[in-house]
């Protein structure tokens, strides 16, 4: 079966309103032509008579239109079978045109009876057929061609929609994969902290970390399918994460969080802050023996949302990273940049720079968009 014949039934139902409207317009135009032509010849045919002659013909074509469309799908002019089907369509076309002319001849003899000797019905129909076979035949092929064009456009739109849906699904899968890459690294650090606490005999503290880790895992699983969440939800997650890191660093970590109230309901990528904070802890706080400061800020600048994570540790390129390695950026930042690019295209910024007073600032700039109302109760 050809692709045209296999089109979905729901999308191929005749639109009777459109069909009747088009053929009504055609009948009115034909009536006007008969009236004007007869007027120019000096024997004007009244409008009412013109309508009686032409409108029945138009509505016969209206009834035939779905049949032509069905025949076109049942016997398509497709490669490999177009010759036989074209001959079949030609035979149907000629038979239909003759039937139209026969009914018109019968109708004509009743609407405009001839004053002379009446011609035989078949003879008059044959004469009309000889005159109109080309013009009326073209109507059949025009309807057939339009039906093929509509079917072709419909299939094109369906393929375009399917391709768009597939592209969206692949993009979501790609985003999900990038997001899931954050989890093993985060879990490794948390488990390392728990192991260190157990080795030093701080079992009660280890239990607290396990409980905190369990809460974080619950939040991560609840948001596994979400790419964006309200900022307040992201802040609750990062506070839980920092609680665990506070136990790990003890008094060597001082945290400051400054967030404008008006941005708490802004949409942000899920887990956007965690890799930035982890990067600051690893490269800005861990190398220090003295207390280090980590600052998290969020604010709005016009139609943009600014998220900032900064520390007062060694800057970029100082050679004072963990184990003497170079500091920043890392896999987490590259992963974050890739996620932002897939979510926002070019409509974002991620900059990691040295601060004049020392330390590093990671700044993420996003379009400011409020979370949907249904997210308001998300914890």
CATH number of the domain that 257 lies in?
3.30.565.10
How crowded is residue 173: how many other Cβ atoms within 10 Å of its Cβ?
10
The answer on 76 and 148 residing in a single domain is yes
pLDDT of residue 303: 94
pLDDT of residue 292: 93
pLDDT of residue 1: 37
The domain in which residue 104 lies consists of: 10-171
Does a structural domain hold residue 2? no
For 22-36, 89-103, 255-269, which range has the lowest pLDDT when averaged over its residues? 22-36
Mean pLDDT of 123-145: 86
Half-sphere exposure of 170 (CA within 13 A, CB side): 6
- Write out the two tokens for 214: 């369990």
pLDDT of residue 171: 56
Of 171, 200, 220, the domain-final residue: 171
Does a structural domain hold residue 190? yes
The answer on 246 and 307 residing in a single domain is yes
The answer on 243 and 106 residing in a single domain is no
> Which range in 128-132, 297-301, 316-320 is most confidently predicted, on average pLDDT?
297-301
pTM of the model: 0.52
Residue 320 has pLDDT above 70, yes or no: no
Mean pLDDT of 228-250: 89
Does a structural domain hold residue 5? no
Of 171, 194, 222, the domain-final residue: 171
Mean pLDDT of 188-211: 82
Mean pLDDT of 158-175: 65
Does a structural domain hold residue 176? no
Mean pLDDT of 167-193: 61
The answer on 147 and 111 residing in a single domain is yes
The answer on 83 and 30 residing in a single domain is yes
Work out the pLDDT band at 266, boundaries 50, 70, 90: very high
The answer on 90 and 21 residing in a single domain is yes
The CA distances from residue 50 to 2, 55, 61, in Å, are 43, 8, 17
The answer on 167 and 187 residing in a single domain is no
The answer on 198 and 145 residing in a single domain is no
Of 147, 171, 195, the domain-final residue: 171
pLDDT of residue 263: 95
**SS3 of the chain:** CCCCCCCCCHHHCCCHHHHHHHHHHHHHHHHHHHHHHHHHCCCCCCHHHHHHHHHHHHHHHHHHHHHHHHHHHHCCCCCCCHHHHHHHHHHHHHHHHHHHHHHHHHHHHHHCCCCCCCCCHHHHHHHHHHHHHHHHHHHHHHHHHHHHHHHHHHHHHHHHHHHHHHHHHHHHHHHHHHHHCHHHHHHHHHHHHHHHHHHCCCHHHHHHHHHHHHHHHHHHHHCCCCCEEEHHHHHHHHHHHHHHHHHHHHHHEEEEEEECHHHCCEEEECCCHHHHHHHHHHHHHCCCCCCEEEEEEEEEECCEEEEEEEECCCCCCCCCCHHHCCCCCCHHHHHHHHHHHHHHCCCCEEEEEECCCCCEEEEEEEECCECCHHHCCCC
The answer on 363 and 300 residing in a single domain is yes
> Which range in 109-118, 121-130, 197-206, 357-366 is most confidently predicted, on average pLDDT?
357-366
pLDDT of residue 186: 67
Mean pLDDT of 247-257: 89
Residue 264 has pLDDT above 50, yes or no: yes
The answer on 167 and 251 residing in a single domain is no
pLDDT of residue 351: 93
Does a structural domain hold residue 1? no
Residue 3 has pLDDT above 60, yes or no: no
Work out the pLDDT band at 268, boundaries 50, 70, 90: very high
The answer on 70 and 167 residing in a single domain is yes
Does a structural domain hold residue 100? yes
Does a structural domain hold residue 154? yes
Residue 299 has pLDDT above 90, yes or no: yes
Residue 100 has pLDDT above 90, yes or no: no
Give the chain's domain count. 2
Residue 326 has pLDDT above 70, yes or no: no
The answer on 210 and 138 residing in a single domain is no
Cα–Cα distance between 83 and 156 in angstroms, integer? Answer: 25
Does a structural domain hold residue 3? no
pLDDT of residue 200: 83
State how beta strands 267-269 and 304-311 pair. Answer: unpaired
């Amino acid at each position: 079966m050809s692709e045209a014949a296999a089109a979905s039934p729901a999308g191929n139902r005749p639109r009777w309103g459109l069909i009747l409207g088009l053929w009504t317009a055609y009948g009115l135009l034909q009536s006007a032509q008969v009236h004007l032509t007869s007027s120019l010849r000096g024997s004007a045919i009244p409008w009412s008579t013109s309508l009686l002659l032409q409108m029945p013909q138009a509505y016969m074509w209206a009834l035939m239109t779905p049949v032509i469309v069905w025949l076109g799908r049942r016997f398509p002019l497709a490669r490999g079978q177009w010759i036989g089907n074209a001959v079949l369509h030609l035979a149907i076309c000629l038979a239909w045109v003759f039937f139209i002319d026969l009914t018109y001849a019968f109708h004509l003899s009743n609407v405009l009876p001839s004053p002379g000797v009446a011609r035989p019905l078949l003879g008059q129909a044959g004469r009309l057929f000889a005159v109109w076979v080309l013009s009326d035949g073209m109507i059949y092929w025009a309807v057939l061609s339009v039906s093929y064009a509509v079917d072709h456009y419909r299939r094109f739109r369906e393929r375009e929609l399917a391709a768009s849906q597939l592209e969206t699904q692949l993009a979501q899968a790609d985003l999900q994969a990038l997001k899931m890459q954050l989890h093993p690294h985060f879990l490794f650090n948390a488990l390392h902290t728990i192991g260190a606490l157990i080795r030093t005999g701080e079992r009660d503290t280890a239990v607290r970390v396990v409980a905190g880790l369990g809460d974080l895992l619950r939040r991560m699983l609840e948001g596994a399918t979400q790419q964006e969440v309200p900022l307040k939800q992201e802040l609750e997650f990062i506070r839980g994460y920092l609680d665990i890191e506070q136990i790990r660093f003890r008094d060597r970590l001082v945290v400051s969080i400054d967030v404008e109230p008006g941005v708490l309901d802004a949409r942000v990528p899920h887990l956007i802050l965690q890799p930035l904070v982890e990067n600051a802890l690893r490269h800005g706080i861990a190398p220090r023996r003295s207390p280090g400061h980590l600052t998290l800020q969020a604010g709005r600048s016009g139609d943009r949302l600014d998220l900032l994570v900064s520390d007062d540790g060694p800057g970029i390129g100082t050679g004072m990273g963990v184990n003497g390695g170079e500091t920043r950026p890392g896999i987490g930042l590259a992963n974050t940049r890739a996620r932002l690019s897939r979510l926002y295209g070019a409509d974002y910024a991620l900059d990691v720079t040295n601060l004049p007073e020392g330390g590093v600032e990671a700044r993420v700039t996003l379009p400011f968009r409020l979370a949907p109302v249904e997210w308001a109760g998300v914890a």
